[in-house]
Structure 1
């Protein structure tokens, strides 16, 4: 069992994070928010016929790579993740010396956990291209919501998710699992204690996480379960005691693996469980052996 916050990043397979924004009509209006993070390039794409003249950051020197202008797009990227209390202003000068301000914030503050990869900007929401872009946003959101509803329905009737919920509530005594191995470790952001459980036809892992960061919350971005020999990804059930763990607080994550996940071509194989934290860095690796699903 290994705990480490290393340079390995979570595998990203989602479609690009694209949004549509309408530019404020009044100069004194609240600036639109753009969500940025390290290792993600954010592009502000203006409508046809509008090519930015200048772009400058206010008080962001050293925190971002040089802001670039390519045609009708502005390109920016922070050198490290912004803390939850940080915000920077980006001022873009358009033709005719019109200035438009944007507030750069870390993701997770506007109902989304993802940084913006492309923001399509329009001055008039009634323009055909603006309406088409907004329609694309709505269709993508509806598709995501339908998929989420389907997932939640499946989990409601899932035995494995019910067991994971009990484990995350620290009610292992109410499950058929028996703890067989414990491990612990910490880095600058979190201290983790873990337990591996054996079950009849199933295995489980529980992480107890204490957030050691002074201002940033800790959460699970993703969990991967892959075969040690084939690297094929398997499914598993996961439940957390909280969506995010605030600084100084603790939380519990319960994971349940069905015995079928250990099969590859009719042969039992070991699995590797990878836990990625909110910034995409690998927080922990746990190897699960087929003996865990024995009687």
Structure 2
């Protein structure tokens, strides 16, 4: 799966996102989170998620030794490290690339070295790549301290709220018309939907045979993508995709998705169905606009960009 493909018409629709508003909120919301240091060697390096021109502060329980705190390969990516008593301040000059990771070692006054990996604001979760941005990270090495336990409690409560919101969102999705249509499409029951086929084409790819069927319907667009893995080096894994007006997450748009498998082994075929409501094509002033879809594969690299024209949405 080596090449980047760009298709001019239709849609390969694979998105793990609920709504543009939610995506913007999660991406832009300042993030304060605790890190509990572990004595287990496999848990030795924690990730710090940063964004260009946004300060990220690491706060520790004791003073930081500035002379022994260092980054590797930061030149041209971040401003020089700033250490103020028990705080380390990071300031990226610009957004890091999706697959970048800059090693950081913070040395405390007692000689303890704590390794981190400075990364762009994305984290791979079970449902795909999700936006994360750290504004402040509180680092605790004493799990029994009041501050550490309080931070752990607050973090657990926040995670519980997030899970509750996700469960409610999934419940609504299961009952939505668009998700029902997507389920019918992926199961080969198009005749039970209101969609009419408008385009069929095969995007070129050296490791994947793809057939894209694009449909139009009353106030909606849909697509059925059939993928056959012809890469003998290993399985193809779906990682994530994002639908937007201008290739940025600030204009991300929602749609419904169903797939029969997220991992396709060599020689195997998988199908993905997507339904997009007409409202996703509307700008703030009520005008219809074209959309662009970016699809990412399992290693986080961009696999394909597809243009979705507003003309496939019936009035």
TM-score per shorter chain, which class? 0.5 to 0.7
Give the structure 1 partner of residue 8 of structure 2: 2
Give the alignment's TM-score, normalised by structure 1.
0.66
**Aligned-residue offset at 1:163:** 1.1
| 2:197 is equivalent to residue 179 of structure 1 | yes
Q: 2:151 aligns with which of 118, 133, 139?
A: 133
- Give the alignment partner of residue 32 of structure 1, picking from 25, 37, 44: 44
* Residues in 2 aligned to 1:273 and 1:169: alpha-carbon distance in whole angstroms: 26
Cα distance, 1:286 vs structure 2: 0.4
The equivalent of 1:55 in structure 2 is: 69
d(CA) in 2 for partners of 1:264, 1:143: 31
Task: Give the unaligned 5+ runs of structure 1.
Answer: 5-9
Q: Please, what TM-score do these two structures have when normalized by structure 2?
A: 0.63
Q: 1:132-281 alignment to 2 at 5 Å?
A: 132-185=150-203, 193-208=211-226, 217-224=237-244, 235-243=254-262, 251-258=270-277, 270-278=288-296
Query: Alignment partner of 1:108: what SS?
Result: strand
CA separation of 1:33/1:76 partners in 2, compared to 1, >3 Å: closer, same or farther? farther
Bigger relative contact order (CA 8 A; separation at least 6): 2
1:293 counterpart SS class: coil
Distance 1:199 1:111, change over 3 A: closer
Find the aligned partners of 2:24 and 2:243 in 1 and give their Cα distance.
12
Moved more, 136-145 or 62-71: 62-71
Per the alignment, residue 110 of structure 2 pairs with: 96
1:101 to partner: Cα distance: 3.4
Give the C-alpha shift of residue 161 in structure 1: 0.5
Q: Does 1:108 align with 2:124?
A: yes
State whether residues 19 and 120 of structure 1, in contact with CA within 8 Å, keep that contact through their aligned partners in structure 2: yes
- Go from structure 1 to structure 2 and tell me whether the alpha carbon gap of 1:44 and 1:207 turns closer, same or farther (over 3 Å shift): farther
Q: Helix, strand or coil for the counterpart of 1:146?
A: helix
Distance 1:271 1:34 in 2: 41
Q: Give 1:104 deviation, angstroms.
A: 7.2
Alignment check: 8 A CA contact 2:56 2:89 kept = yes
Secondary structure of the structure 1 residue equivalent to 2:124: coil
Q: CA deviation at 1:39?
A: 5.9
| Count of matched residue pairs | 275
Structure 2: runs of 5 or more not aligned? 1-6, 12-19
C-alpha spacing 1:199/1:113, structure 2 compared with 1 (3 Å) = closer
Query: What is the root-mean-square deviation of aligned Cα atoms in Å?
Result: 4.9
From the superposition, tell whether residues 82 and 280 of structure 1 become closer, same or farther in structure 2 (CA, over 3 Å).
closer
The aligned residue for residue 284 of structure 1 is: 306
CA distance in 2, matches of 1:152, 1:163: 16
Q: How far is 1:37 from its partner? A: 7.2
